Structure 1
Amino acid sequence: MCTPADAPRVIAPGDPIAEFWMSRPGLKRVLIVIPHLQAGERLLDVLPALESDMRVQVMISTPETGYRWSGIREYVRRLEGLVIPWHQAVNTRFDLILGACNWGLAELDGPILLMGHGAGSLGSRIGHDGDVDRHNLHRDHLMLGDAVIPTVLALATDDEKGALGEACAEALPGAVVAGDPSFDRMLAGRPYREAYREALGAAPGQRIVVVSSTWSKHSLFGSDPTVFARLAEELPRPEHLVVAVLHPFVWHGYGRRQVLAWLAGAREAGLVVLPPEEGWRAALAVADVAVGDLGSVLQYAAGLGVPTLMSTCSLDGVRPGSPAELVSRIAAPLRLDRPLAPQVSRAEPPTDGEREQVVRTITGRPGQALNILRGTCYALLGLAQPSHKVPVSPASLPEPIG
């Protein structure tokens, strides 16, 4: 990235000139790196463990890679944090850098904690190069030359540690099995079932069918963009509430106005559409059936014990041996060339053994992720942890798009 020497900077801790205006010198500087919404949302699961500490200043920046997702600046602005431009971030020394995607991290100065932003750390998608052996713990993702990029790599499960040893042994010394903070929040939300149902607009006794699509041509939406309308029209409306969850890349790749225009007919038929930021976890916590593809949402649904149907079209994009491939063996097949309502009505929940299999691919430390990540952050900061506990926050109430 080439930035003019006189490019404007934000008055913020870490800038020698800006220090004149700072009221509290000597704070530990933490940078949150948000290249896309799903990384941002995962980091927000962890941020409450740090940001209330008066010894810490949190800043936010978005990598400049030559491309930017539409809407990311607006998303970051809504977080109301101290946002600094990328050229300033790469010229500032930080005491801790938090990322949930490797984009831009190698350019930064400071200890890096890298975590995943979906179900598990390996990922399930075959990459653009078609290499079925390449996953998110491959050395291409974790190293720059001979140097390991993350100081600490937060893994979801112990099995991933074995996979890391085979794919990038250099990163093993910095690996810690932390579990999955997002899954923990879903579990913590289970007692709030009625509040979640009410927020979604479900009537008493109405079955909630959550329909999710990841991105790519193999996704549910990529295979059949009419699937949301078909489900809303085929499933008897008084007995069913169909809730749509689309991956942020769908929203940001095409634009909110366009996506809502494509879904207008389905919404008229009763489809409830959730925004990309939040709501999907609460919907899964109360789902009676989940319909989806190779994306993380269906993996979380199976881990929660929800009856699942997986689009057979999405299997073309699934890496063999991945978590999504496991779910494909447990979920009922969804065939888009046949009527959908009978398939939904036949969906069965996974057995206890099947559900436990999926959970083992999601988290090796159920209920513990926030505390493990908190301890890891404070170790990197060189600070003693505050004595007060940080409870796991239940999934936020869903706010459907009106």
Structure 2
Amino acid sequence: MGRKRVLAIAHTLTYAKRLLDVLSLLEADFRVQVVFTVPPHVFGDEVPRFLENLGSAVLPWEEAKRVRFDLALAAGPQGVGDVQAPLIALPHGANYLKRIAGAGPAEAGVAGLRRKDIMPDGKTLPAALVIPHDDELRELARSCPEALPVARVIGDPAHDRIRASLPLRGVYRRALGLTDGQELVVLASTWGPRSSFGRIETLLPRLINELPADRYRTAVLVHPNVWSGHGPWQVHAWLAQCSRQGIAIVPPEADWRSVLVAADLILGDHGSVTLYGTLTGAPILLSGSPEEEINPASPAAALALTAPTLSPTHPLVGQLDYAAAEYRREEYSVIASRITSEPGGFNRRMRRLMYEILRLGQPAYEPLTMPLPSPPPLESWTSTSARQERSA
């Protein structure tokens, strides 16, 4: 039997993990064969090992460009114009949060919605451009109006998985090894010099020295681009003292979403993980919110005006308590509602779009949004140096 062939273009670990949410909608369909490929990317070093652990079929990039596919999926623009397939282009994070400023006209704009992001070869539109919220259509009309006919408001898979998992918060907390009365502080960092990790040398002493171990457990979520850019050994080396003090360093291949659901307090920045935190009910304390890097029309800009910002001069525990006392769930729910205008609808809409392009009838069952699996214990997420110390 002839099968439709789907190419998953996994530039980085972040992109690959977003594609897995989408590709799960093709499971159990024997009419479809999925193949991965890994184009060159500055943050792509970790992807081959990740795909090897998945046990997925991987086609070398140069060969993938020569083969014709029935559908291609990508969460990043590099090289996609060289692929011989109708392409569905997806965002790789929450909404379109970041803007590029201080560059030339071709570079400036909202990351992901610039003409160079949508048509990297300067001439070819994707078959479909997935948009999470109706609001993004206004920016698209300004930045790349010729893409409006292929824009499809589909929703956000991470939003839907997190929301479906909120009733399991207690299950995740027990799986992480948290005891009654312990509060989980999650440090969430995007990448770049203005991220939480960009100022990690000032944050780490506070996490280590100011949070009483009998009351707090801490987990650090660092963007996969940091791991790829600096190398896992270096990141573990920088964070080794954290692990020795019982702070969990969540590896880039792990699913961070169940950890976020389990959080009591989020210390975050202007990245996607912090924005997804608005879904959880956990108070948010911002380590910083660089105005020049935030899309002013995005929910991240609204979060920067709502959540309190970390002070360098006041005790950390007091600031976490202040964030909790000032937290108003309804304010953060309004921000969370701007992540997607199709809450709970991503799987249904995305599957319909893929099968439309594949020219196949959809399977005769509802594409349910499944809760996230339980995470491993926090103790399992320690640095290499700390693990070696314990085994010595």
**Taking structure 2 as the reference length, what is the TM-score of the superposition?**
0.90
> What is the aligned partner in structure 2 of residue 90 from structure 1?
65
1:358–1:389 distance in 2 versus 1, CA, 3 Å: same
Question: Does 2:25 match 1:49?
Answer: yes
> What is the aligned partner in structure 1 of residue 389 from structure 2?
none
> What is the aligned partner in structure 2 of residue 192 from structure 1?
168
From 79, 104, 116, the equivalent of 1:104 is 79
**Contact 1:211–1:228, Cα closer than 8 Å, also in 2:** no
Question: How far 1:165 sits from its partner (Å)?
Answer: 1.5
* AA in 2 matched with 1:126: I
**Contact 1:229–1:271, Cα closer than 8 Å, also in 2:** no
Q: Secondary structure at the match of 1:333?
A: coil
Q: Secondary structure at the match of 1:31?
A: strand
* AA in 2 matched with 1:269: Q
**Contact 1:231–1:341, Cα closer than 8 Å, also in 2:** no
**Contact 1:59–1:84, Cα closer than 8 Å, also in 2:** yes
Question: How far 1:125 sits from its partner (Å)?
Answer: 4.2
> What is the aligned partner in structure 2 of residue 8 from structure 1?
none
Task: Structure 1: state its 5+ residue gaps.
Answer: 1-24
**Contact 2:43–2:225, Cα closer than 8 Å, also in 1:** no
CA distance in 2, matches of 1:293, 1:32: 30
Q: CA RMSD in A?
A: 2.0
1:194–1:88 distance in 2 versus 1, CA, 3 Å: same
* AA in 1 matched with 2:349: I
Question: How far 1:254 sits from its partner (Å)?
Answer: 1.4
> What is the aligned partner in structure 1 of residue 8 from structure 2?
32
Question: How far 1:326 sits from its partner (Å)?
Answer: 1.4
CA distance in 2, matches of 1:320, 1:189: 30
From 114, 117, 127, the equivalent of 1:138 is 114
* AA in 2 matched with 1:39: Y
Deviations 1:119-151 (CA, angstroms, capped at 9, x unpaired)? 11x232435738664432111211246634311
1:267–1:125 distance in 2 versus 1, CA, 3 Å: farther
Question: Does 2:353 match 1:379?
Answer: no
1:133–1:86 distance in 2 versus 1, CA, 3 Å: closer
CA distance in 2, matches of 1:99, 1:375: 17
CA distance in 1, matches of 2:84, 2:54: 24
Question: Does 2:100 match 1:126?
Answer: yes
**Contact 2:5–2:69, Cα closer than 8 Å, also in 1:** yes
1:329–1:346 distance in 2 versus 1, CA, 3 Å: same
> What is the aligned partner in structure 1 of residue 137 from structure 2?
161
CA distance in 2, matches of 1:77, 1:43: 15
Question: Does 2:257 match 1:289?
Answer: no
* AA in 2 matched with 1:390: P
**Contact 1:124–1:325, Cα closer than 8 Å, also in 2:** no
* AA in 1 matched with 2:240: A
**Contact 1:208–1:243, Cα closer than 8 Å, also in 2:** yes
CA distance in 2, matches of 1:196, 1:253: 30
**Contact 2:99–2:110, Cα closer than 8 Å, also in 1:** no
CA distance in 2, matches of 1:263, 1:144: 37
- State the identity as a percent: 37
**Taking structure 1 as the reference length, what is the TM-score of the superposition?**
0.88
Q: Secondary structure at the match of 2:338?
A: helix
**Contact 1:279–1:397, Cα closer than 8 Å, also in 2:** no
**Contact 1:124–1:318, Cα closer than 8 Å, also in 2:** yes
**Contact 2:101–2:109, Cα closer than 8 Å, also in 1:** no
> What is the aligned partner in structure 2 of residue 79 from structure 1?
54
CA distance in 1, matches of 2:64, 2:121: 22
Question: Does 2:177 match 1:201?
Answer: yes
CA distance in 2, matches of 1:381, 1:274: 37
Structure 1 runs (4+) greater than 6 angstroms displaced: none
Question: How far 1:339 sits from its partner (Å)?
Answer: 2.9
CA distance in 2, matches of 1:260, 1:144: 35
> What is the aligned partner in structure 1 of residue 288 from structure 2?
312
1:314–1:277 distance in 2 versus 1, CA, 3 Å: farther
Deviations 1:211-253 (CA, angstroms, capped at 9, x unpaired)? 1111111011112334134223211111111111000011111
* AA in 2 matched with 1:383: L
1:141–1:384 distance in 2 versus 1, CA, 3 Å: same
Question: Does 2:297 match 1:321?
Answer: yes
> What is the aligned partner in structure 2 of residue 393 from structure 1?
370
> What is the aligned partner in structure 2 of residue 360 from structure 1?
337
Question: How far 1:356 sits from its partner (Å)?
Answer: 3.2
> What is the aligned partner in structure 2 of residue 244 from structure 1?
220
Q: Secondary structure at the match of 1:204?
A: coil
From 242, 247, 259, the equivalent of 1:271 is 247
Question: How far 1:352 sits from its partner (Å)?
Answer: 4.4
Question: How far 1:52 sits from its partner (Å)?
Answer: 1.9
Task: Structure 2: state its 5+ residue gaps.
Answer: 383-392
**Contact 1:102–1:142, Cα closer than 8 Å, also in 2:** yes
**Contact 2:183–2:216, Cα closer than 8 Å, also in 1:** yes
Q: Secondary structure at the match of 1:245?
A: strand
Q: Secondary structure at the match of 1:284?
A: helix
**Which segment is superposed worse, 33-42 or 73-82?**
73-82
